[in-house]
Structure 1
C-alpha cells in the first residue's frame, strides 16, 4: 500500500479487493479473507479493512453474514450484452435515464485548446455549460461543454433544464456527422471529487468529444468525467470498422 500523503488506505484496499473479485480470484458464494488476515496481508489496521469491506458491500459485491464471514455476491446481470445504440440513441438514453443539474451557463472567451479544436479565432466567445447528471440521487457524469457563440443563442439555463444540449443543437438545424473521441484518466480535483462524491485524487475517466456537422464544422466540444467505480466506456465495432480509425488507437505523448 502507498503511504504517500493524500493517499487513502481504505480506498486502495477497496480497489484491490474489487479488482480481485471482478477478475474471479474470489468466486461468487466464497469467502474473502477474514479481517485479521487482510490486516496482515496489506499491513493496515482493522478500521481500514472494515471501511474497505463496507464500500464493497455498498456496491453489492460482498455480503456480510454474522458469525460466518464476508461472502462474494452473485454478479448482477451484465448490461454490456444489450443491443447496440447509435450515437444519438445513446445520448437520448443517457438524458432519459438521468437527471441533469445545471451548474454553469455563460458566454465567455474560449480557452486556447478548446478554441483551437472548435476552430475559433483567438479571443472568440463561446457558450460554456457545466452539468451534473445523476440517477437515483447518485452523481454519475460531470459534463463540461463548449459551443461556438453563433450556435449557442438558445443554450440557456432554462432551456438546459428542459432538454439536453444535443437536442438544442439539433433544433438549430445541425446534423451530427462525425465525432472524434478521446478517453484518458485524470485524478479528481477537490471540485470534481465533491460533485462526483469520490475522494480527492481518485482516478476518473475523462471522455473528450469534438462533434462535427455535415459541413465538417466543429459544433461542440464536450468533456465528461465519470468515476470508474460506477461507469465504464462501452464500444462495439462492426467488421467494416476494424481496419479503420473507428476502432480507435492508443497514442503516446512522450518527451523527446
Structure 2
C-alpha cells in the first residue's frame, strides 16, 4: 500500500471517529426511563413500572430493559429487589472514615438534613484473638479481647455493620456497660478508660457481601459491599481497636483526606481477623484491677 493510500485510510478513520456514535438500544432505554422519572415527578423510594410494562411502553424487548436497569443499578440510581420491583435510589450517603468523632459526624447527605443515626448491639463476646489481630494490637499469647458487633441504622434502616476488637486489659469492665454500646463506642472508651483516638490507618476493599452481611443489611443476592478495616491508636501510640465496617457499595460514597501512612497495619489485612469466644465468662478479680497498660500512670502521658 502506498503512502497516499495510507493517508487516505487514516483520513477516513478520523472522519468516522468524528461522527456521533449511534446509541445502543439499552442506552436509549436509559434515556426513556430518565424522562419517565422526570415527567412523572418521581422521588427517591418510588416504585418504577415493571420490566414488562417498561418494555411495552418503550416498544423494546425485555432484554433491553434488563440491561438498562442493570446499568442504572450499577450507577447507584435505582435499587432492584427480587419479587418486589425496582425503586428510585436515594442519593448516596457520604462517609468520611478518616474523620474523628462518632458516626454522625462522619456521615452527610448532599443538600439534605444530616441523617438520623442509631445503633443496635448484636454481640459482645470475650475471646482469644487471631494471630493477625494479636500482632496488630501488640498482645501477648494469653491476652483476651472484646469483640463488639453492632448494626448501625441510618434514618431507621440498617446501613452499616461494625465490628470492633478491643484488648480486655485496656477496657476490663466493658461488659458492664452494654447499654452504652448503643451510643458512641469511642466516647465510652474515652470517658471510662482514657482511650482516645489519636491516629488511624485504614484498608478499603470492595467485594461480594456474605450471607450474614446480606441478611443484616437487607441486601439482594450478588450485592457488593465496601469493607473498611482499620486500627486505632492513642496519643501514646498504643493500639486499642481493630475494626471492620461494612457498607452497601451502591449506597455510599467516601471522602478521604490523605496523610502520610505510618504502616500500622502490617501484612495482609483481608484475612485472619477472627476472635475465638471463651467457653465461659470466667474472670479473675485481679484482672479487673490490674493496670490498663504498662507505662506512666494515667494523666502522665
Normalising by the residue count of structure 1, what TM-score does the alignment of the two structures yield?
Answer: 0.64
1:160 paired to 2:181: yes
Q: 1:223 to 1:41 in 2, by over 3 A?
A: same
The structure 1 segments of at least 4 consecutive aligned residues displaced by more than 6 Å after TM superposition are none
1:1-256 equivalent positions in 2, closer than 5 A: 26=31, 30=35, 34-35=54-55, 37=60, 39-41=62-64, 55=80, 56-59=86-89, 87-89=99-101, 91-93=103-105, 97-156=116-175, 157-161=178-182, 163-171=183-191, 172-237=193-258, 241=259, 244-245=260-261
Q: Deviations over 1:182-209 (max 9, x none)?
A: 1012221111110000024421100011
Q: Count the aligned residue pairs.
A: 199
Q: 1:85 to 1:116 in 2, by over 3 A?
A: closer
> Are the aligned partners of 1:98 and 1:133 in contact in 2 as well (CA < 8 Å)?
yes
Q: Secondary structure at the match of 1:134?
A: strand
Q: 1:146 to 1:252 in 2, by over 3 A?
A: closer
Relative contact order higher in (CA < 8 Å, ≥ 6 apart): 2
Which shows bigger deviation, 125-134 or 91-100? 91-100
Q: CA deviation at 1:176?
A: 2.0
Q: Secondary structure at the match of 1:151?
A: coil
Q: Secondary structure at the match of 2:252?
A: coil
Give the root-mean-square deviation of aligned CA atoms: 3.9
Q: 1:31 to 1:38 in 2, by over 3 A?
A: farther
Q: Secondary structure at the match of 2:207?
A: strand
Q: Structure 2: which 5+ residue stretches go unaligned?
A: 1-25, 38-50, 81-85, 108-114, 270-301
Q: Structure 1: which 5+ residue stretches go unaligned?
A: 1-16, 61-75
Q: CA deviation at 1:152?
A: 2.3
Normalising by the residue count of structure 2, what TM-score does the alignment of the two structures yield?
Answer: 0.55
